[in-house]
A and B are shown apart, each in its own frame.
Chain A
Amino acid sequence: MKADVAVIGGGIHGCSAALNLARRGLKVVVLEKDHVGRHASGANAGGVRTLLRHEAEVPLALASRAIWHDIESELGDDCRYHTVGQLAVAETDAGLDELRARDARMHDLGYSHEELINADELKALVPGIAATVRGGLMAREDGAASPYHTTLAFRRAALATGVDIHEGCRVETLAPAAKGWRVAATGIEVEAGFIVNTAGAWGGHIAGLIGDPVPLSYFLPMMMVTARVEPFLKPVIIGTERPLSFKQMLNGTLVIGGGRPAIGDRDTMTYRPDFAGLKASAETVRDLFPMLGDVPVVRSWAGIEGIFADEIPVIGPSRASSNAVHAFGFCGHGFQLAPIVGRLVAELVMQGKASLPIAAFAVDRFDTTE
């Protein structure tokens, strides 16, 4: 079959890119080796966070936030998104100093989406939080959504816009052709003018096939969910000294994440929880919210995420080919960025440049260290 663009990887970034390309009139095929939302896109904690983003990601995250605030008109689905704010809490004076330094730096750069919160205001915002917290840093316009639901909303919107999505379809080989690429995948051959690599933790492999080898590693951030409790927590709580992301979902359950890794394998796509990490996360929750000690944890899970040593993704044109664009390796924080990165990928494919700064995410940034 023929297409203008073959998108490799049907996670939230692949579906967002496909949707944006199709909306600009291109014929798009998505090739997904498993099913849409099987890995990181469906298995993340659903945080929609600009707070404490890497400086290079801030412009993208802020632009994405604007789309999130009106996600229903973007996708025809509310994605169970709600603006509740994200709040980093400091448990020590050193942690508070760290947040203050961050705040000063953000103001120097001209950003105002993060603000310092003193201990009293923090305790008013988060009833029940341990009296020992020193203060926090908050992005009030951040929020949370349902990750699998959102990924499927992107999938449905893409399908409705004419995108052809093939699941259970693994790309085997990529060969340059007269006008673009010949893609051989499970049970299908696609002649495509362009390739978009949104293959997540497997994006390094696809980049290698394109001719852009990158040192992509992977990890499996764990999450836990508790039984339902009475609503008490609005903002998403982020740890400063210890890894934590902690939120109450609309149905009352508490989701505990923060990036502590499970023990898993990218090739076999299997994993087991690491109870040392789950214990550490439970300790953090118990210390911050002593009244939650008796709440049962009912389930843990993890998704396979691609990660680079500098903890930011690759977004941008291929170095080896003029007919390929990358957007992968989001290091455990790609969910919030998906709405904007899909647009940037469409711009890169159609105009060869993006409307927001992406130089920091270049695929060739690793060359000097090799």
Chain B
Amino acid sequence: MNMKASFDDSVELAIIGAGPAGLAAAITAGELGVKATVFDEGSGPGGQIYRAIEDTGNRPERLALLGEDYAKGGDQVQRFRASGCRYLPGHGVFDIAPDGGLGVNGPDGARWIAARRVIIAPGAMERPVPLPGWTLPGVMGAGAAQTLLKSSGLVPSTPVVLAGSGPLVVLIARQLLAAGARIAAVLDTTPRANFMNAAPLLPSAYVAGNDLRKGLRWLREVKRSGTAWHKGVSRIRIEGDEAVEAISFSAGGRSQRIACRLVLLHEGVIPNVQLSMAAGIEHDFDDTQWCWRPRADAFGRTGVEPILVAGDGAGIGGADLAADAGHLAALAVAADLGRLAAGDLETRSRPILARMRAGRRVRRFLDCLYRPHQEVLAPPDDETMVCRCEEVTAGELRRVAAMGCPGPNQAKAFTRCGMGPCQGRMCGLTAAAVLASAGGRSMAEVGHLRIRPPVKPITVGELAGLAGVGEPPAGAPPMPTGPKDEEDA
């Protein structure tokens, strides 16, 4: 294993991300003799879900409380370490071109490299949960709290209110209880109508999925612990002047209020699509998962030839489906590069595809059950902050929508929504949803913020030192139009 934190200007296969999909792609690539280089923003393999797994592997007590699904990442990472790929932790990708060119920024500076094939496996991010008061100190994403638990063993010292919907709410509640945290209440925002919509999918999901049965077991455990669990919660407001003081909400037709200092919010996860969008891949809006996802075939091949997508970054499926997608993408690359015969591609992919079909049955049920409430997607209160970087509220967006502003790319210029350091990563979906609902149009019609590289900030100094690019093209008209024009005129 080459751990040297430098790399050549050209690589055979670049894998972006070292979560379940990236790890699996690297393992399969290594097995088939494809030379892979893995670029990972993190400091060690595992991605978000298996974060810090190599450290935690030596701490049985923390491993035990994080559960068997987390522990399973340890085997993946061991196989990854043995795969022969080149692993570059601490390396972010700030741009990707349709020809496989990558702008990479790491401890040794920034470099533009050429990759024959690229597998984008950037994983998911928590869906932002814009509601009144969500920007107050003391409000966190539940996933972010879980990250602290995984990487530093940090457990909240004050009673927690966990608000939201989705499988992760149950998992995190269980992990927090196991770690000794106190949960003041769980506010379950899953809309009641979802149970009706999801019910028809339950039988096939139940048969297909161990995970589903496991989830139900966790739910029973959390409820048995005596934790207050409010169902059908809506109209959440987080109150406080300088920091969180209380949370109020409506449940069962009744308004309630709980004093607290820490609120964890979670409304599911959405794909990280900045890189796939920057690469010029077509994206479609998924109305059930309520997010954009890159258009790809079963192997993750996209309309942009050298570039494939795998894992939750291509549509939310969870760790197991992501790993399978990583294997498939690497198989497709190997076949493409002549390391795997067409027949072998067929033989090796068939069982993976079958396994994924079963996994998707569970996923479809979960997608329907945990489809976010409309008030989470497009906050109804005008004062709710949408864009945290530029402090743009839902009300301002509705105002520009009323002025005839057709979509997020135009709203940007009126309001600066999406123009701050996060480049609309946090607010893009919400802003589009507010404009769509105000204008009575679909998300597909309203569209998404156009990506304007760098996808991740890079400093002036790093950019000035960018290696691997030639001279800028000649023929750029100089600005200003200077004295030389005397000769032309």
Contact = CB atoms under 8 A, between A and B. Distances in A.
Given A276-B469, A282-B460, A299 B423 contact: yes
Q: Is the interface of B mostly helix, strand, loop or mixed?
A: loop
Given A297-B459, A299-B419, A55 B95 contact: no
Interface stretch (A121-129, A178-186, A254-262): A254-262
A52 B481 contact: yes
A250 to B, nearest CB: 12
B483 A226 contact: no
Contact of B471 (A221, A276, A296, A307): A276
A230 interface: no
Q: Is the interface of A mostly helix, strand, loop or mixed?
A: mixed
Given A245-B479, A277-B472, A279-B469, A297 B452 contact: no
B341 interface: no
A83 interface: no
A164 to B, nearest CB: 14
Interface in A244-273: 244-245, 251, 257-261, 270, 272-273
B483 A297 contact: no
A251 B390 CA distance: 10
B452 A300 contact: yes
B400 to A, nearest CB: 10
Contact of B463 (A37, A225, A297): A297
A296 B421 contact: yes
Interface string B426-469: 00000000000000000000000000111001111101101001
A301 B140 CA distance: 32
A39 interface: no
Contacts of B488: 310-311
A273 B457 contact: no
Interface residues of B, number: 43
A53 interface: yes
A215 interface: no
Contacts of A366: none
A149 B481 contact: no
B421 A276 contact: no
16 contacts: A49-B480, A52-B483, A54-B489, A56-B489, A238-B479, A259-B477, A261-B473, A275-B103, A277-B476, A279-B469, A297-B463, A298-B420, A307-B477, A311-B485, A331-B481, A333-B481
Given A35-B406, A273-B95, A299-B419, A148 B457 contact: no
Given A227-B421, A272-B453, 9 more contacts: A55-B486, A105-B483, A275-B95, A279-B464, A282-B466, A296-B421, A296-B457, A297-B454, A297-B457
A260 B472 contact: yes
A60 B55 CA distance: 68
**Listed residue (B423, B452, B463, B470) with the most chain A CB atoms within 10 angstroms of its CB:** B463
A301 B464 CA distance: 18
A51 interface: yes
A247 B187 CA distance: 48
Interface in B179-197: none
B97 interface: yes
Interface in B384-421: 406, 410, 413-414, 416, 419-421
Contacts of B476: 219, 243, 259-261, 277
Interface stretch (A286-294, A318-326, A340-348): A286-294
Interface of B: 95, 97-98, 103, 112, 280, 406, 410, 413-414, 416, 419-421, 423, 452-454, 457-461, 463-464, 466, 469-473, 476-483, 485-486, 488-489
A254 to B, nearest CB: 9
**Listed residue (B280, B463, B479) with the most chain A CB atoms within 10 angstroms of its CB:** B479
Contacts of A239: 479
**Listed residue (B112, B420, B471, B483) with the most chain A CB atoms within 10 angstroms of its CB:** B483
A271 B479 CA distance: 20
Interface in A34-53: 35, 37, 42, 49, 51-53
A185 to B, nearest CB: 19
A56 B485 CA distance: 10
Contact of A293 (B97, B112, B460, B479): B460
Contacts of B112: 275
B464 A285 contact: yes
A9 to B, nearest CB: 18
Contact of B472 (A274, A296, A301, A310): A274
Contacts of A279: 463-464, 466, 469, 472
B464 to A, nearest CB: 4
Contacts of A243: 476, 478-479
Contacts of A297: 454, 457-460, 463
A52 B483 CA distance: 7
Contact of B479 (A57, A225, A258, A280): A258
Contacts of A294: 459-461
A275 B469 contact: yes
Contact of A311 (B420, B452, B481): B481
Interface in A199-228: 219, 221, 225-227
A295 interface: yes
Contacts of B97: 272
B485 A301 contact: no
A333 B479 contact: yes
B458 A98 contact: no
Given A275-B95, A276-B471, A276-B472, A295 B460 contact: yes
Contact of A55 (B103, B414, B466, B485): B485
Contact of B464 (A42, A226, A282): A282
Contact of B413 (A105, A149, A276, A278): A149
Nearest to A146: B413
B467 to A, nearest CB: 9
A304 interface: no
Contact of B461 (A221, A286, A312): A286
Given A293-B461, A294-B461, A296-B458, A259 B486 contact: no
A297 B465 CA distance: 13
B452 A299 contact: yes
A283 interface: yes
A360 interface: yes
Contacts of B464: 279, 282-283, 285-286, 293
A101 interface: yes
Contacts of A148: 413
Nearest to A286: B464
A310 B421 CA distance: 39
A238 to B, nearest CB: 6
A298 B453 CA distance: 8
5 closest Cβ contacts across the A-B interface? A293-B461, A52-B480, A296-B457, A259-B479, A282-B463
A332 interface: yes
**Listed residue (A149, A294, A311, A331) with the most chain B CB atoms within 10 angstroms of its CB:** A311
A82 interface: no
Contacts of B472: 260, 274, 276-277, 279-280
A331 B458 contact: no
Contacts of A55: 485-486, 489
A170 interface: no
B459 A105 contact: no
A69 interface: no
A103 B480 CA distance: 14
A239 B476 CA distance: 14
Contacts of B420: 298
B483 A298 contact: no
A148 B415 CA distance: 11
Given A55-B486, A275-B103, A298 B421 contact: yes
Contacts of A88: 480
